[in-house]
Chain A
Amino acid sequence: MSSMSAESASVGKLEQVTPARPQDVAVRLDAITKRFGDVVALSDFSLKVYRGEFMTLLGPSGCGKTTLLNLVAGFLSPDGGEILIDGAVVTEVPTFQREIGIVFQNYALFPHMTVADNVAYGLRARGIARDEIGRRIAESLAIMKLTGLEDRKPRQLSGGQQQRVALARALVIRPRVLLLDEPFSALDKHLRASMQVEVKEIQRKLGVTTIFVTHDQSEALSLSDRVAVIFEGRIRQLDAPHQIYRRPADRSIASFIGEGSVLRARLDRIDDRAATVMVGSSRIIVPAQPLTGLTSGAPVDLFVRPEQLRIATDHGVFRGRVVATSFQGDHVDVYVDAPDAAAARVQVRVPFLERVPSVGDAVAIAIDDCEATAFPHQE
């Protein structure tokens, strides 16, 4: 069918962004269980992180992502299961022998040491020769654009500089794994964006396996090779960022990642790979997996992102009334009340320079994309 080939074509296009993955596993978590008193934080948790990849653990606070990081680092011991780094079991190995690098949210720079001493710390602990240390520090500081700041103390540095020192310190020892614990949350918005780009560049250049923990989904999507979405100690979806954004596996992931609206639709056809749902007279293709077991005619909830909807000048798929608009700089979010089509407000993105309707206007909304995701209907 034309719609099916359109689907595989678009999927095929996106697939190219992720290169062929070598099967070299740098970090492996095998059936990890971790309890804190009566609370089971992780139960039978398994994950493989490939060499050189930027893996993000994404989830709300308390989901267990920081616990996982601490387990890999060796700050916590699992109650069950094994942790392997480069094929060797490290579950019983203390932190200082695991050859990891970690950057904390508050950077944890040694306040009583200069920048040079901070960066040299790991090298000195390994007993590396003094001139070699000097050379490596200079190299590391140059990469991080910190040359000239060797003799400053951490409190004399800006937030961005501190973060770079923390990164330099962790990377100069050439760790097997780099662990990042929400390192950008202390930075302001602009700095955060530029630091993210820099870190990604450096990670790519050095090829160091990285595990990144965050609750900020936009960060996760922009930086990662793969994202593990974790809710309540379990992986809900493990995929490349664009897959997670376009094809969230269930509704909680759909609402956690990005923004979207839920429209009432009806299932038309379903086979192994894809299904078709009807919203008004529009046909939308969705992944079959979430709708397994449903029959034709069953009510479903169609999940659409704001950029997939459009204020139509002619007839759209459904009608509604504008209740609010929110100027976002490069676009305007328009919120529409459309009781026929959706239980909650529908969010439509109007790009820069396009005409924005006023509050109170009656509008028609069209679905611009023929692909979305749908889930079984829930009240």
Chain B
Amino acid sequence: METRHRPFFALFITPAVLSAVVFAASMIAVLQFSMREQIPGSLSVGGLTLDNFTAMLHPIYGRVFLDALWICALTAVVSLILGYPLAYALVHTCNLVLKSAILIITVTPLFLGEVVRTYSWIVVLGSNGFINLLLLKLKLIAEPLQILFTLTGVVIALVHVTLPVVTVMLAAAIAHIDVDYEKAAASLGAGPVRVFLTVTLPLSGPGIVASLSTAFAWTFSAFATPQLVGGGRVNMISNLVYQLGFSNFNFPFAASLSVAGLALTFTSLALLRIALRPLERIGSS
């Protein structure tokens, strides 16, 4: 209800304004630093310059950008492929205990924190980690496989990170498909596979788009996972930024990389959105 009096307005809006200002200031700081000269070894910066951006034109950084994009895309797609059956099961299981179990197993990794998750993958993927020990014992391989410090290993670990989120988002989308549509299709003679392909899948279109975008964006911000599982050999933008900042103390360049990375993510997400628009349209009513 509207009212001419607005009690508490000034009081309630102040904390929000403060937070917004602080956040905006931090982002401006990044932008500002990216355009300043480096003073080696310190956090102070020199005068205005565009050197940091021109330096990025070196092919090495082009490689890093492309690698990062590739990892994000791969992770998003694999998460989708694995997440969909899981989401479907989550929504359609009738047994409540089973449903809770699936939900808890799916959601727990989300709350474990990057370091715990990443470390556990090191233990699994390492040269004398779980996978290799198992394969050696079963005599399937003669020598330990190198999975750690490779792109494959990083993607596996990253999928493990994004899978919960993707599953939950897809489950939300699937849950909101009116059961009546599926029943109607079944009553018209469609078998379960057909119902799935012609009703459930298309109607979950928006959910698919949303979870792909989220997985993509999340993977882009990943840091600990590529850092530890990649071991310096698989680099995403996050790792490079850290390295430049804390190993080379070249903060301005780190800042410009962050800015470029952000621009890259936004552009990719926008392009993804446009490319997937037909999918979104089918599913929305």
Contact = CB atoms under 8 A, between A and B. Distances in A.
A76 interface: yes
Interface residues of B, number: 5
Majority-rule SS of B interface residues: loop
Interface string A59-78: 00000000000100001110
A75 B1 CA distance: 6
B139 interface: no
Contacts of B3: 75-77, 94
B1 A70 contact: yes
A76 B5 contact: no
Nearest to A75: B1
A94 B3 CA distance: 9
A194 B2 CA distance: 35
A70 B3 CA distance: 11
A217 B2 CA distance: 29
A108 to B, nearest CB: 13
B137 interface: no
B4 interface: yes
B198 to A, nearest CB: 40
Contacts of A77: 2-4
Nearest to B1: A75
Interface string B1-21: 111110000000000000000
Contacts of B1: 70, 75-76
A94 B5 contact: yes
Nearest to B2: A76
B196 to A, nearest CB: 40
Interface in B1-60: 1-5
Interface string A77-92: 1000000000000001
The 3 closest A-B pairs by CB, nearest first: A75-B1, A77-B4, A94-B5
12 contacts: A70-B1, A75-B1, A75-B3, A76-B1, A76-B2, A76-B3, A77-B2, A77-B3, A77-B4, A92-B4, A94-B3, A94-B5
Given A75-B3, A76-B2, A94-B3, 9 more contacts: A70-B1, A75-B1, A76-B1, A76-B3, A77-B2, A77-B3, A77-B4, A92-B4, A94-B5
Interface of B: 1-5
